[in-house]
Structure 1
Amino acid sequence: MSNEDFVIALDLGSSQVRVIVAEINPDGTTHIVGVGTADSLGMKKGAIINIDQAVQSIREAVDHAERMVGIEISEVYIGVSGHHVSLQPSHGVVAVASEDREIGYHDIDRVLQAARVIAIPPERAIVEVVPKQFIVDGLDDIRDPNGMIGVRLEVDALIVTGAKTIIENLLRCIERANLSIAGMVFLPLAVSELCLSTDEKNLGVVVADIGGGTTTLTVFQQGHLAGTSVIPIGGEFITNDIAIGLRTQTSTAEEVKCKYGVASKDFADVNETFQVQTIGTTRERTVTQLELSQIIEPRLEEMFHLIKQQVKAMGFSDEPAGGYVLTGGVMATKQIIHVAQSQLGAAVRIAAPKNIGVKEPAYTGGVGMIHYLQKRGVLQPTNPRPAHPPRQKGKRPPSALERVKSWLSEFI
């Protein structure tokens, strides 16, 4: 099968680099066929601090995925997130181009391009345009105007911008790893699209993606993205606490956390013990699961407390009607839901992908990107075989290459 029949998402996290390979079916749907992971080196709190190490991690994860699927990966979609990303409202207006006044994908792309024409500082670059609603001849709250009849097409959108330096360093890493960029995705939005239902978005909900170095908060109100923020705290802080508390190496602390860690001392087994090598001695000490949970629980309580405070600082209610949806690698900790509910309230649930082989919350970012691209109509099979002949008069959605060319124009 051709490499063009696959789509590859690259999730460059603070603790792990994950490559998700999905096969594009003839009907445009996808299914996950391969995963590659590697320890994330050269990254700190979502930003690149050492390009050579970051390139090495990317190549290791890509090689892992290539061996699993049996293809050569040359093009990837990458997720962008972090404290440097901000949202800015915008509005675009165009006249419908076709003579019969039927709105096609070409008109939708034109109005989104019109929304991009805003004044931004020279040190920032546009990552993505997120449509909130389309307006056709004054009729608002339209989600997909394709195929409708109208003369004037408008869009209310959010412009996602990021620090140009950070994005350019990310591009440099991808290029030095001998990869090309198929496109960029606003990662918090992709995660939310995978985790949330329509009702949750309408009620108002907070998504907390708790990773290794950062926690990304995404707020939805009345069905639309309302705000996003990043807290510089994640699973690495739990690992450091364990290393200090048990006087052991960080690598040992991480291993102990993943294998024996329990979020709440109420669910820890005092009879469950393990050996830990102590720094400065050749002896090993015996530690119980209860002792380990007494280190983990206070840090988790602090993290959830900070999440609630940050939501309030963003100007939203810290008790959203739709509750909190939690995902990310830290959410794999046993019994963590009980600690979360004690701090955030009863309306809390953990979200994770449902695909075979990637059901852990740590894969939400990569799988969410695949889901997001499919939902936006970006992915097209190489040789599509539609069940019925195409009937719409509008043009097909712009190809991935056309989207990338448009996006790269921001840097030229």
Structure 2
Amino acid sequence: MAKTGMYVGLDIGTTSVKVVVSEYVENQMNIIGVGNAKSEGINRGIIVDIEKTVQAIQRAVRQAEEKAGIQIRSVSVGVPANLLEVENCQGMIAVNNDSKEITDEDVRNVASAALVRSVPPERQIVTILPQEFTVDGFEGIKDPRGMIGVRLEMFGLVFTGPKTIIHNIRKCVEKAGLTINEMVITPLALTETILSDGERDFGTIVIDIGGGQTTTAVMHDKQLKFTHVNQEGGEYVTKDISTVLNTSFNNAEALKINYGDAYPERTSASEEFPVDVIGKSEPVKVDERYLAEIIEARMEQIFGKSKEVLDEIDALSLPGGVVLTGGAASLPGVVDLAQEIFETNVKLYVPNHMGLRNPVFTNVISIVDYSANLNEVYQLAKSAVTGEKVAPQARQEAAVSKEIHYEDTSVEEEEYHDEPEQPAGESVKDRVKDFFSNIFD
């Protein structure tokens, strides 16, 4: 269940770094601050320049702080699915309490027992996700604390990823002056957040088309069963337009946004628009159909690669079909093209939050919502990975501060001003309208 308080999500994407500050009141998520800064130092979803990434994070954080009127201290950050591995795990311990009542420490110990495994030196355990517990043979228990038992077992999932990726994410967040509350597996957050209970149970495919890569995830039996990353995304569509039409990357991006369509049948060959071509003094006329064919070719390739891996595991037979999201998924005609290629029902997921009704924000909203809904049992099990024993509520309360201080900053590109002082009786929630009016300034 969602907690009460404030949570901050951070999504480090190829084209932009996004930060969302959300306040939970009676299990209702209210977004009160958003930051969106152009990414530099990230290629195909992977950090390649730490300093530039740090600066992008700081810019996005500053924007979110200004909108929300708080100082951000810690974040839940998304971890991409690159080379992600999901394995089943199982642990068993004897309850060592004299009263045989299962405690927090027993949950930590059984999670530690489940983590006894050989991990290659280049990989690292990101987190562990308890599925169920068994007490003295009684199965299907979600929270064993307070129960009486002699033998405690835990069944769960353990997520491992490349040490390099995890280290670089942690390094950038820390250099930006923040601490990490939670490292969230992005496709796990997506499938848990944007799918209905039935879609998670019976099986659904989520395809996240970002700027630098496309992530395919399969959820079935309410578990993340499979992930695949294709190092192609919306930027490759733009590069194709730039190359074929011999125009600059910025012009190509504008053409994609203003005139682009991924389904040529929806376009007209008689509708033309001017294109500034390198080496020519006058713009060249290009028709909508030709531009759509360029876009279609790349999107067909992206979807084709996803279809190949999905066919190998027979995932396209799942009743939930395909859910598309991500910035590049908002391009007109993408859903029609995907339906034709996957030959199953396809729909586009768009966030339903004021000012953020664009698939480009799906990841960061999912990260913050997923982390806010993590229960105490998960936190106890995760402490077996991190070694921390901080109470979940204490970590959440440390995420933000009502006062903003700017003594130390390395961001020089933008001038920043504190929010005007608010009347004592005015809450964060009262100021939401004012913040959203300038959310993308």
TM-score interval (norm. to shorter): 0.7 to 0.9
Residue 8 of structure 1 deviates from its aligned partner by 1.0
TM-score, structure 2 length as denominator?
0.79
Q: Contact conserved, 1:195 with 1:352, CA < 8 A, in 2?
A: no
Residue 219 of structure 1 deviates from its aligned partner by 1.5
- The superposition leaves residues 107-162 of structure 1 with CA deviations (integer Å, 9 ceiling, x where unpaired) of 44443343233221222211111223333332334445566664433222221111
Equivalent pairs, count: 383
Identity of aligned pairs, percent? 37
Aligned to 1:223: 222
Aligned to 2:126: 127
Does residue 169 (structure 1) correspond to residue 168 (structure 2)? The answer is: yes
Matches within 5 A, 1:384-395: none
Aligned to 2:306: 307
Q: Contact conserved, 1:47 with 1:82, CA < 8 A, in 2?
A: no
Q: Contact conserved, 2:123 with 2:162, CA < 8 A, in 1?
A: yes
Is 128-137 or 142-151 further displaced after alignment? 142-151
Q: Provide the rounded CA distance (Å) in 2 between the counterparts of 1:401 and 1:121.
A: 31
Aligned to 1:371: 369
Please give the secondary structure, in 2, of the residue aligned with 1:174: helix
Q: Provide the rounded CA distance (Å) in 2 between the counterparts of 1:93 and 1:365.
A: 35
Matches within 5 A, 1:69-84: 69-84=68-83
The answer to which structure, 1 or 2, has the higher relative contact order (CA under 8 A, 6+ apart) is 2
Letter aligned with residue 174 of structure 1: V
Q: 5+ unaligned residues in a row in structure 1: which ranges?
A: 379-394, 405-412
- The superposition leaves residues 252-303 of structure 1 with CA deviations (integer Å, 9 ceiling, x where unpaired) of 1112212221121122245654332111233222333222212111221221
- The superposition leaves residues 7-45 of structure 1 with CA deviations (integer Å, 9 ceiling, x where unpaired) of 1111001111111111133x4653211111111111111
Q: Contact conserved, 1:6 with 1:23, CA < 8 A, in 2?
A: yes
Is 43-52 or 265-274 further displaced after alignment? 265-274
Q: Structure 1 residues 253, 320: closer, same or farther in 2, change over 3 A?
A: same
Letter aligned with residue 16 of structure 1: S
Residue 191 of structure 1 deviates from its aligned partner by 0.7
Q: Contact conserved, 1:105 with 1:396, CA < 8 A, in 2?
A: no
Matches within 5 A, 1:138-217: 138-145=137-144, 150-217=149-216
Q: Contact conserved, 2:41 with 2:50, CA < 8 A, in 1?
A: yes
Aligned to 2:359: 361
Q: Provide the rounded CA distance (Å) in 1 between the counterparts of 2:42 and 2:86.
A: 24
Q: 5+ unaligned residues in a row in structure 2: which ranges?
A: 377-388, 399-441
Q: Contact conserved, 1:106 with 1:397, CA < 8 A, in 2?
A: no
Please give the secondary structure, in 1, of the residue aligned with 2:7: strand
Which residue of 340, 350, 356 maps to 1:342?
340
Q: Provide the rounded CA distance (Å) in 2 between the counterparts of 1:168 and 1:340.
A: 35
Aligned to 1:236: 235
Q: Provide the rounded CA distance (Å) in 1 between the counterparts of 2:121 and 2:393.
A: 28
Please give the secondary structure, in 2, of the residue aligned with 1:36: strand
Q: Provide the rounded CA distance (Å) in 1 between the counterparts of 2:248 and 2:201.
A: 46
Residue 396 of structure 1 deviates from its aligned partner by 11
Q: Provide the rounded CA distance (Å) in 1 between the counterparts of 2:99 and 2:275.
A: 74
Letter aligned with residue 347 of structure 1: N
Q: Structure 1 residues 130, 281: closer, same or farther in 2, change over 3 A?
A: same
RMSD: 2.8
Q: Provide the rounded CA distance (Å) in 2 between the counterparts of 1:364 and 1:78.
A: 14
Letter aligned with residue 166 of structure 1: I
Q: Contact conserved, 1:109 with 1:398, CA < 8 A, in 2?
A: no
